[in-house]
A = this chain, B = another copy of it.
């Protein structure tokens, strides 16, 4: 297939951005779909141009004005890899408003502004793709929306945050279990956790991901602020996410053949409702989710007629995540649409009733009631 190449501007040259930029520069022929047009990099927005040049990025492509790349006429598709809320949100919305397609790894923006961005993309016939927002390089959003399109999805759940899973894995290591503070410090040393770890350990990152998964499974944008992240406890003192999971709690769980992991889950509830939660959960020790350790992710999808299918792999990292961004770019070069594919326009934002509050739980000696999930 011939046609003018697709001109790509990348906003942000952090760990993922650098990988994407290098791939576009060095693997141009390989990345060209046989049934689509070529991809050509026409601009890269960075915070500090001089430093980017030092790091080997081509000076003629660089700018410190991402809004100019979005508004100018030298790019057909915008790859947003800056992260965070603003200016990423406004830049994505502006690009879609101009009819430019957008690829992003920004789970925060998609989860918090999904309803608006979907409406803008649909109104302007622009593709919005965000495979990299969940599970890093693991193909999961595309398969859920397209390959599994013949199913009624009943539930999607998984271990979707590598930082917390690394910490909990260190706390449940057979040989030398570390306590929470030590494991967190080690995760920070290895670059698996940020200096301010709250986005991961309090569950916000996993909340964003379950909102995105739920949109593709149930055609509903949930309001991330309504998804519970704090387990029930007798004293009411359990913290959000994994912040108060203790070695003693993990030992109590192990005595019951279970292991506590941060599980993000969303399931259909009757004809119209969706329940969702991000809670430290007592999983069977001897199960695929219970055995998912370290920074790997695993997402399980229950649907009819398919039954249960699962996707696992590296949930983070610049190289792995760049695979998802490149896959989205190739899809756009083939004329493919948005990540939601054949699914109907979503409603929302809507409140997500807590999942498993009515369900059974494992109460540890500390009085925390970890929901049980098999």
Interface residues of A (CB under 8 A from B): 19, 23, 30-31, 33-36, 131, 137-139, 142-143, 146-152, 288, 291, 303-314, 317, 319-320, 322-327, 329-331, 333-334, 337, 341-345
Bound state CA distance, A317 and B305, in angstroms?
A: 10
A327, B23: Cβ atoms closer than 8 Å? no
Which one of B146, B291, B337 lies within 8 Å of A327 (CB-CB)?
A: B146
Contacting pair A149 B313 (CB below 8 A) = no
Closest chain B residue, CB of each to CB of A301:
B313
Interface of A is mostly: mixed
A313 touches which one: B309, B322, B329 (CB < 8 A)? B309
Bound-complex Cα distance A310 to B131 (A): 16
Structural contact, A138 and B323, CB atoms closer than 8 A: no
Q: Are B30 and A152 in contact (CB under 8 A)?
A: yes
Nearest-neighbor residue (CB-CB) of A309 within chain B: B313
Which residues of B are found within 8 Å of A152, using beta-carbon distances?
30
A306-B313, A313-B308 known; A23+B322 contact, CB < 8 A: no
Minimum C-beta distance from A22 to chain B (A): 10
Q: Report A250 CB to chain B, min CB distance, Å.
A: 20
Chain B residue with Cβ nearest A19 = B305
Contacting residues, chain B, for A142 (C-beta < 8 A) = 142-143, 146-147
A131 — which chain B residues lie within 8 A by C-beta?
A: 147
20 A-B residue pairings within 8 Å (CB atoms): A23-B305, A34-B343, A34-B345, A137-B305, A142-B146, A148-B327, A150-B323, A150-B326, A288-B291, A306-B320, A307-B313, A307-B314, A307-B319, A308-B314, A309-B312, A311-B311, A312-B312, A330-B342, A333-B342, A334-B342
Once bound together, how far apart are the Cα atoms of A57 and B220, in whole Å?
35
A326 — which chain B residues lie within 8 A by C-beta? 149-151
Q: In whole angstroms, what is the CA distance A23 to B151 when docked? A: 10
Contacts of A304 in B (CB 8 A): 319
Structural contact, B23 and A137, CB atoms closer than 8 A: no
Contact A323 B303, beta carbon cutoff 8 Å: yes
Closest CB pairs A-B (n = 10): A150-B326, A33-B342, A139-B147, A309-B313, A306-B323, A305-B319, A137-B306, A139-B143, A34-B344, A149-B330
Interface centre among A19, A147, A312, A337 (most CB of B within 10 A): A147
**How far apart are the CA atoms of A30 and B149 in the complex, in Å?**
9
Is there contact, CB below 8 Å, between B310 and A148? Answer: no
Chain B residues, CB < 8 A from A147: 131, 139, 142-143, 324, 327
The answer to whether B137 touches A307, judged by C-beta atoms less than 8 angstroms apart, is yes
Give the residues in chain B near A327, CB-CB below 8 Å: 146-150
Additional 12 contacts, C-beta under 8 A, given A149-B330, A305-B320, A334-B342 = A23-B150, A33-B342, A36-B342, A131-B147, A137-B309, A138-B309, A139-B143, A142-B146, A148-B327, A149-B327, A150-B325, A304-B319
Q: Measured between C-beta atoms, what is the minimum distance from A124 to chain B in Å?
A: 15
Task: Looking at the assembled complex, report how far the CB atom of A66 sits from the nearest CB atom of chain B, in whole angstroms.
Answer: 23
